[in-house]
Amino acid sequence: MSGSVEEIRHHVKVYKIVFASLAVLTVVTVLVAYLEVSLAMAFTLALIIATIKGSLVACYFMHLISEKKLIYGFLVITAIFLIVMFVLPIWADSDMVII
């Protein structure tokens, strides 16, 4: 096994902190559902929280935090594609003509 005992303890501590953060954010997501705000605002808050949770999982559990810049390039391309896929149905439904 590579790494000293202190390194392993440090990694375990980081994993515990990330787990606790994910648990707290899950509770916050549930609490957002009970807020007396508009559906759009609740949806936006839930998506922001889900993005933070997804980032924590990707960075620490998938070890992307220490990856090379090429991985981040693919991540940016994927995020742009996701945004386009969200916007296209809204744009198509709004009957907007852009020339």
- Does position 81 have pLDDT exceeding 80, yes or no? yes
- Name the DSSP letter for residue 87: H
> Could you list the residue range(s) of the whole structural domain that residue 50 is in?
1-66
CA distance 58 to 51: 10
46 with 71, same domain: the answer is no
30 with 76, same domain: the answer is no
Model confidence pLDDT, tens digit, residues 5-55: 888 898 899 999 999 999 999 999 999 888 898 888 888 898 899 999 998
37 with 61, same domain: the answer is yes
Considering only residues 45 and 70, tell me which one the structure prediction assigns the higher pLDDT.
45
Q: Domain count of the chain?
A: 2
76 with 45, same domain: the answer is no
What does the pLDDT average to over 50-64? 88
57 with 75, same domain: the answer is no
CA distance 30 to 22: 12
50 with 89, same domain: the answer is no
Q: What is the pTM of this model?
A: 0.66
60 with 93, same domain: the answer is no
